[in-house]
Structure 1
Amino acid sequence: MKAIRYHAYGPPEVLRLENADMPAVGADDVLIRVRAASVNPLDWHNMRGEPYFARLDMGLTRPRHTALGADLAGVVESVGRNVTAFRPGDEVYGGCGLDLVPGTTGLAEYACLRQDGMLREMPAGLTFEQAAAVPVAALTALQGLRDRGRVRRGHRVLINGASGGVGTFAVQIAKAMGAEVTGVCGTGNTELVRSIGADHVVDYTKEDYTRSGKRYDVVLDLVANHGLLANRRVLAPTGVFVECAPSKGQWIGPVLGMVKVAMMPRMAFFLSRTSADDLAAVSGLIESGKVTPVIDRTYPLDETAEAVRYLERGHARGKVVVTV
């Protein structure tokens, strides 16, 4: 099969379309003919080997794991003998993460996931491209708002980075939770953010939300372009600041998160986790019409390097998807 691989850390040029072995299908595994995958900030962090301390796990001088791609959508090709939840021909989508059979990922013609992993039938009406855009970004938004922000009906929620991959899901999910949503984005994206449900839109080129005098119950920061003290100014007395900004090149992951939480208890840093239950919850929101994936651009598999390069620039409007 064809698959994207990289054998050295570096810029997108290190990505290669190569011939790779087909995944071996175990008794509890589902083999998927991938039709679309999406790229995430995690992909280019892995590609570049950043942050450097993460190389203790990824490989010090060269990548230990040479495949990329955490989201996928496709058609079930075959199943292991113990699999009962899926059958050949099912249209499915999911997040790879730790649920992938080792050695495979979404940016390939085939991928193998465990039946009890983060894998579900695609919501009715979605294209493969739309479905592939969902898992990582939507779960990041859901978990940030629900688990860290504890958003409730009537809460005033500000989303910094509302026009990006996670942000477009966050606006819609916060609205589905009954929140009053303010989205922060650039001039060219204000209409997009309004169109997906934001009650208020702040153009960061014209206004600094941290100096507006307004207060919010939850601030979900997906950009990290303001300091902690500045963000604390906009919190209501019991407000919570939640940061998930993997696109910020100098972030140092959970270590930074623990420092922030120790300094300011109402500040939370998090990375999303794979969860089949949460993917089911997102599927329900999509099927009810409350959430629709937003796709900026699509690229063919052999142009994955260009897709990652575009995402790395930090100005995507929604998700960047690779068709296979």
Structure 2
Amino acid sequence: MQTVGFNSILSMRQCILLARRQFSATAQSALSGSQTNDRQLPPPPIKSSDKMRGWQLHNYGDIDELQLSDKLKIPQIRSSNECLVRIRATAVNPIDLAMLRGYGATVLNKMRCQPGDGIEFPLILGREFCGELVQTGMGVPADSLSLGTRVWGVVPLQSSTGAHAEYVAVPSYCLSPAPKELDDCEAASVLYAGLTAWSGLYITGGLGGPCGAATASGGGAHKRVLVLGGSGGVGTLAIQILKSQKVQVLATCSENAIEMVRNLGADFVVDYNNREAVEELCKYAPYDIVLDCAGQGGQQAAESKFDFRQYITFSSPLLANIDKQGLGLGALKNVFDLVQTNVKSVTQRGGLVKWGFFSPAPQGIQFLQKLVEQRKLMPLIDSSYGFGDLPKAFEKMKGGHLRGKIVVKL
């Protein structure tokens, strides 16, 4: 009996010691976790009463329609896959100037308005940005996009709240961690033009075969592509994308931009105003793709002097026809225009005319990010402005003849 009692007391003492050790370990772990959290604090939560600055549009028209306000509501996350970003830098693209004038309003307004809600304004323009992730929906995995991450992203065309403001809410597939190789302004000037070029080459043009459009693998080695307008925002990135994939690249630009375009890696560059130089492009025909980044449009394809298999233009009449003639007649006009243009181009130049578009595809973002990390793609910045001078950035865009992108710093 005494032995049993002694063993019982010993067991009780061992249990007490074990419990003390466990408590001490738990306390140290909690303290360590608290210290870790102190070092990696997430951004403060956004209150519903918080306001932001932003440039709003209440009517379509010219640049004087842009109005700066510091009392705008911060966009709210409305679906589980959305993210809220505090913007550090953004850009002005030709699509912003076109949308300011009402381009695509018929289609885009139907996409952005809820059923029974005909409210079209106010609008905030801006299609791309670099910033800090401050809030995510419940469906966004924390391991892929954590709060406080520096991100770059794009805004879908149908969104009424763009990136020309201090905050923007976008679907998570439009975002990715920003490359460390780029500063904020550089990161804010890649994705819209880069995804436009990528989409035209790989989705519309099928340059890399089925995997080129469905994955971030790229492709197109040993193909021959002519880039019209090689010194603009889309053209400069298209040339770098093509050269990274070992494509033979020829380009046109103005005389004073020839050296710059050559430095991007183009194999042969000509002044588009020099007729004799343009005729030299016939020596390299037929082209696998002629990529129109100069706004010439598909109607000019049949008038060119060189043959091609595909002529891809980003200046399609798709939305403009619907703006002018409505959804029904506009759609019929689009079919007629495309058929008529292709009959001429196939007959005279032997290839098809296709319309290219911006596409916020995650695999496209991954492709561009990979090229930046490999230092095979670097954006060219024409000029930069402060947020309060955004109308001046629009004036610069309106003037044309750019050498890269126009960025706006917040």
TM-score (norm 2): 0.70
Aligned twin of 2:306: 234
**How far is 1:259 from its partner?**
3.8
Aligned twin of 1:8: 59
Q: How does 1:47-86 map to 2 (within 5 A)?
A: 47-50=100-103, 57=110, 63-83=120-140, 84=142, 85-86=144-145
Query: Radius of gyration: which is bigger?
Result: 2
Q: Distance in 2 between matches of 1:32 and 1:197?
A: 35
SS at match of 2:359: coil
**How far is 1:160 from its partner?**
0.5
Does the 8 Å CA contact 1:9/1:62 hold for their aligned counterparts? no
The farther-off stretch of 194-203 and 208-217 is: 208-217
Q: Distance in 1 between matches of 2:105 and 2:180?
A: 41
Letter in structure 1 aligned against 2:314 = C
Q: Which runs of 5+ in 1 are unaligned?
A: none
**How far is 1:181 from its partner?**
0.6
Q: How does 1:150-299 map to 2 (within 5 A)?
A: 150-151=206-207, 152-207=220-275, 211-212=279-280, 213-214=282-283, 215=285, 216-225=287-296, 227-231=300-304, 233-236=305-308, 239-245=309-315, 252=321, 258-263=335-340, 264=342, 266-299=352-385
Does the 8 Å CA contact 1:257/1:269 hold for their aligned counterparts? no
SS at match of 2:230: coil
Q: Which protein has greater RCO, CA pairs closer than 8 Å, 6+ apart?
A: 1
Q: Distance in 1 between matches of 2:296 and 2:164?
A: 30
Is 1:135 the counterpart of 2:191? The answer is yes
Does the 8 Å CA contact 1:9/1:63 hold for their aligned counterparts? no
- Structure 1 moving runs of 4+ over 6 Å: none
Q: Distance in 1 between matches of 2:138 and 2:169?
A: 14
Counterparts in 2 of 1:252 and 1:92: CA distance versus 1, 3 Å: same
SS at match of 1:316: coil
Aligned twin of 1:97: 156
Q: Distance in 1 between matches of 2:371 and 2:270?
A: 26
Q: Which runs of 5+ in 2 are unaligned?
A: 1-51, 208-219, 323-329, 347-351
Task: Give CA deviations for 1:168-224 in whole Å, capped at 9, x if unaligned.
Answer: 011011112221111111112111111111111111122366644331221001223
Is 1:46 the counterpart of 2:117? The answer is no
Q: Distance in 2 between matches of 1:149 and 1:274?
A: 17
**How far is 1:43 from its partner?**
0.9
Q: Distance in 1 between matches of 2:90 and 2:130?
A: 6
**How far is 1:285 from its partner?**
1.2
Aligned residues: CA RMSD? 2.7
Does the 8 Å CA contact 2:226/2:289 hold for their aligned counterparts? yes
Does the 8 Å CA contact 2:231/2:404 hold for their aligned counterparts? yes
Task: Give CA deviations for 1:75-95 in whole Å, capped at 9, x if unaligned.
Answer: 112334443232222100111
Does the 8 Å CA contact 1:162/1:184 hold for their aligned counterparts? yes
Is 1:147 the counterpart of 2:214? The answer is no
Q: Distance in 1 between matches of 2:364 and 2:339?
A: 28
Q: Distance in 2 between matches of 1:197 and 1:204?
A: 18
SS at match of 2:121: coil
Query: When the two structures are aligned, how many residues end up with a matched partner?
Result: 315
Counterparts in 2 of 1:282 and 1:75: CA distance versus 1, 3 Å: same
The farther-off stretch of 17-26 and 67-76 is: 17-26
**How far is 1:307 from its partner?**
0.9
Counterparts in 2 of 1:52 and 1:110: CA distance versus 1, 3 Å: closer
Does the 8 Å CA contact 2:251/2:269 hold for their aligned counterparts? yes
Letter in structure 2 aligned against 1:89 = G
Counterparts in 2 of 1:259 and 1:297: CA distance versus 1, 3 Å: farther
Aligned twin of 1:34: 87
Does the 8 Å CA contact 2:83/2:137 hold for their aligned counterparts? yes
Q: Distance in 2 between matches of 1:304 and 1:196?
A: 28
TM-score (norm 1): 0.88
SS at match of 2:257: helix
Match of 2:178 among 110, 122, 140: 122
Percent identical: 29
Q: Which has the higher helix share?
A: 2
Counterparts in 2 of 1:109 and 1:154: CA distance versus 1, 3 Å: same
